Amino acid sequence: AVGALVTGTGLAVAPAPAPAVPHDHQYQDAQPAGEPTRRFTLTAGTATVSVGGRDVGAWAFNGQVPGPELTATVGDVLEVTLRNRDIARGVTLHWHGYDVPNSQDGVPGVTQDAVLPGQEFVYRFRADQVGTYWYHTHAVSDIGVRKGLYGVLVVRPAPATGVDVTVAVHTLSGLPLPAPRTEPVGAGTPVRLRLINTDSTTHRYALAGTPFRVAAIDGYDLRGPTPLVDTAVMIPAGGRYDLVFTAPATPVALFVDGRQVHSTGPVSAATGAWPVLDPLGYGAAATAPWARYDRKFTLVLDRGLDLRGLLPRYAHTVNGAADPDIPSQVVRLGDVVKFTIVNRSPVVHPWHLHGHHVLVLTRDGRPATGSPLWLDSFDVRPGEVWKVAFLADNPGMWANHCHNLAHADAGMTLHLMYS
């Protein structure tokens, strides 16, 4: 749909050779025309929620953690009114992984002002991307998300058939949500399990009682045939995996870091023994859509001493600088852009670019040989080098940051800017 988008803006841009990109951007409509077909109101406020029988102070949307699950069918126009009751430091809504027009991206100081107590902001965008996503505040995001200002966003190609469940794993005051749940599922029922990691660290997910296929990662369907596997999957901070299987006659249980969070009945399985799936070699390969790159950037992730405050402190740095001193990466509409991301620090950095999905080219020199992986969140481990590429097809000013939100707030945030 690249040609259609370029025409839609009336811009005379010569894009790189038409790539087969599964993107369907919509920047031509900052606020899409037409009546909203799905309306939601999310009111942020301090709340007390019960976690495993304990009362915990939280920040919640509509009094609940996670916030309401927003679901839509592809083609819907979503209108979400955000209100702030009493979160003194302000809130916004960022649609994590949803490549919305820049004005709707919810980054305070970049695309809008934070919504202060008593204020509201109305977001509107077309649900053009099918898949599993989530929303969260982007104002003091480390604290805000940790305290509970997040929720699920699922866009289906058609109303759900079979069993279609979403499990958003989150740690609130050290207590994991959701509490273990049991939902019986009849044998032979097709199940789609949408897993979202809303924490700042990687989690390991495993299914006891059935093999499964990975149907999608970060909202994008993998190219088939996708083999049945019986492994664990590692989901980076912010990332999503959709697992599909046919319910067997015996119970199935989901384990996160060895702890059972969801099941269809009683399961007593030894946990932790599963090998981890390598998504780079999973599913059917396709040829890379781009033969050349218009721009190349290298991001070296490291740790440095920040001497700007009263006391020196560690900062998470990109190319030796910390936010707001990291130069923006400037691209033009239509550019094919390559990023090389090098982690020289001793900790994992889950990388997240707003407004775009990137195609994985290589991870530590190993080419992606399986289905094309279009990711918006990926773990760059200590010592690793990732090469990824994307088409610059969504103009604006986009945050590009580590999704360990404490790192992001401690300097590891820069911006991608269209000239």
| Positions in the binding site for ligand C2O (CB under 6 A) | 94, 96, 136, 138, 238, 352, 354, 399, 401, 403
Residue 336 phi, psi (nearest 5): -100, 120
Candidate list 126, 138, 387, 407; residue touching Cu ion; CB under 5 A: 407
Given the complex with Cu ion, which of 189 and 201 has the nearer CB atom? 201
Neighbours of 214 (CB within 10 A): 22
User: What is the spatial distance between Cα 226 and Cα 229, in angstroms, rounded to a whole number?
Assistant: 9
170 interacts with Cu ion by CB under 5 A: no
Shortest gap between Cβ of 61 and ligand C2O (angstroms)? 15
Q: How does DSSP assign 207-258, residue by residue?
A: EES--BEEEEETTEEPPSPPPPB--EEEE-TT-EEEEEEE--SS--EEEETT
State the binding partner of 93 from Cu ion, ligand C2O, none, CB within 5 to 8 A by kind.
none
Shortest gap between Cβ of 98 and ligand C2O (angstroms)? 10
Shortest gap between Cβ of 212 and ligand C2O (angstroms)? 26
- Looking at the DSSP bridge assignments, the partners of residue 154 are 71, 132
Shortest gap between Cβ of 350 and ligand C2O (angstroms)? 10
User: What is the spatial distance between Cα 60 and Cα 172, in angstroms, rounded to a whole number?
Assistant: 11
State the binding partner of 194 from ligand C2O, Cu ion, none, CB within 5 to 8 A by kind.
none
State the binding partner of 25 from ligand C2O, Cu ion, none, CB within 5 to 8 A by kind.
none
State the binding partner of 403 from Cu ion, ligand C2O, none, CB within 5 to 8 A by kind.
ligand C2O
The H or E element containing residue 131 is strand 131-136
Tokens of 176: 């994991």
State the binding partner of 94 from Cu ion, ligand C2O, none, CB within 5 to 8 A by kind.
ligand C2O
Footprint (CB under 5 A) of Cu ion, residues 322-351? 349
Given the complex with ligand C2O, which of 197 and 345 has the nearer CB atom? 197
Shortest gap between Cβ of 353 and Cu ion (angstroms)? 14
Given the complex with Cu ion, which of 65 and 353 has the nearer CB atom? 353
Nearest CA among 59, 27, 287, 297 for reference residue 172: 59
State the binding partner of 138 from ligand C2O, Cu ion, none, CB within 5 to 8 A by kind.
ligand C2O
Given the complex with Cu ion, which of 357 and 403 has the nearer CB atom? 403
State the binding partner of 407 from ligand C2O, Cu ion, none, CB within 5 to 8 A by kind.
Cu ion
Maximum Cα interatomic distance, the chain, rounded to a whole number of Å: 63
CB-CB contact of 376 with 238 (8 Å): yes
141 interacts with Cu ion by CB under 5 A: no
User: What is the spatial distance between Cα 348 and Cα 357, in angstroms, rounded to a whole number?
Assistant: 20
State the binding partner of 349 from Cu ion, ligand C2O, none, CB within 5 to 8 A by kind.
Cu ion
User: What is the spatial distance between Cα 119 and Cα 183, in angstroms, rounded to a whole number?
Assistant: 39
CB-CB contact of 192 with 243 (8 Å): yes
C-alpha to C-alpha distances, 230 to 212, 265, 294, nearest whole angstrom:
6, 19, 40
402 interacts with Cu ion by CB under 5 A: yes
Give the residue closest to ligand C2O by C-beta.
96
Given the complex with Cu ion, which of 387 and 407 has the nearer CB atom? 407
Shortest gap between Cβ of 1 and ligand C2O (angstroms)? 25
User: What is the spatial distance between Cα 234 and Cα 96, in angstroms, rounded to a whole number?
Assistant: 18
Shortest gap between Cβ of 404 and ligand C2O (angstroms)? 11
Nearest CA among 217, 370, 214, 221 for reference residue 281: 370
Shortest gap between Cβ of 198 and ligand C2O (angstroms)? 9
Tokens of 301: 């992730």
> For binding to Cu ion (CB under 5 A), which residues are involved?
349, 402, 404, 407
